[in-house]
Structure 1
Amino acid sequence: MDAQDPAEVGDEANGERADREALVRGYYESVDDGDYDRLASLLAPEFVHDRPDRTLSDREAFVSFMREDRPEKDTEHDLTAVYRAVDDDGNGDGDGDGDAAEGWVAHGRLVGADGRVRFEFVDVFALSDDGVTRIETFAREG
């Protein structure tokens, strides 16, 4: 059995990390661009978005809400940080429950077309091989 070069292992981990971060950033890009086909492709079928004002369960319900029912569509997510969550069960999903999802956190602010900040947010993402499985949003008025 051939041993793998430690540098290659590090490169693989960094590549996977970059892919996961790109998935999180792609979520915001697709929402901001109104690219609902891309948005749907990033979400797992069982996707859940838990927001302060409501919970949207399943990919189709969420995409429909974003396309048709959200109060303001001409907005931009101004991200200040995206990072991998760390927790005490060792899988990095941030929840400590031992499941297989990987967790990421995004911090930023939602800016309206008029340039005013609507609110600041922290989104906690659960990611799997199927895409984004869950987002829990914490918000503070801007």
Structure 2
Amino acid sequence: MDRYDAVERYYHAIDADEYEELRALLADDFVHDRGDMRLDGADAFVAFMRDDRPDTETSHELTAIYESDAGVAAEGTLRRASGEPMFSFVDTFRFENEKLYALTTYTHPA
């Protein structure tokens, strides 16, 4: 699996509530930084996505995925189950040994 596919699988796993698949994509020391909070460790991140997200009935609509030697960036919109946009985002992913090890999220109100 290449890095582009790993990013697509990341969003699919979250949107489909496939948390074992999500965990399999992440390095043990995975870090997510989204400005207002930071999650350290793959298990903490998966637990947050599964148990603590304010709204789990959402979907990621990707408009672009950019790949470089430094990593992958994905641009899109997070939508509620009704289709209403919550916010637009850019996620930057870093990889280590074919696993996602760092994610930074930038958001903009819809």
TM-score between both structures, scaled by the size of structure 1: 0.75
Question: Which of the pair is proportionally richer in strand?
Answer: 2
State the match for 2:8 in structure 1.
25
Question: Which of the pair is proportionally richer in helix?
Answer: 1
Q: Which sections of structure 1, spanning at least 5 residues, go unmatched?
A: 1-17, 86-91, 94-102
In 2, distance between residues paired with 1:59 and 1:45? Answer: 5
State the match for 2:101 in structure 1.
133
Query: Do 1:52 and 1:139's aligned partners in 2 also have CA atoms closer than 8 Å?
Result: no
1:114, CA displacement in angstroms? 1.3
Aligned residue runs from structure 1 range 100-115, under 5 A: 103-115=71-83
Moved over 6 A (4+): none
- Number of aligned residues: 110
State the match for 2:30 in structure 1.
47
**Structure of greater Rg:** 1
TM-score between both structures, scaled by the size of structure 2: 0.96
Percent identity over the alignment? 41
Higher relative contact order (CA 8 A, sep 6+): 2
In 1, distance between residues paired with 2:45 and 2:27? Answer: 11
Q: Does 1:124 align with 2:101?
A: no
Measured against aligned partners, the alpha-carbon deviations of 1:7-42 in whole angstroms (never above 9, x if no partner) come to xxxxxxxxxxx7210001100000000000000000
RMSD: 1.0
- The one-letter code matched in structure 1 to 2:15 is D
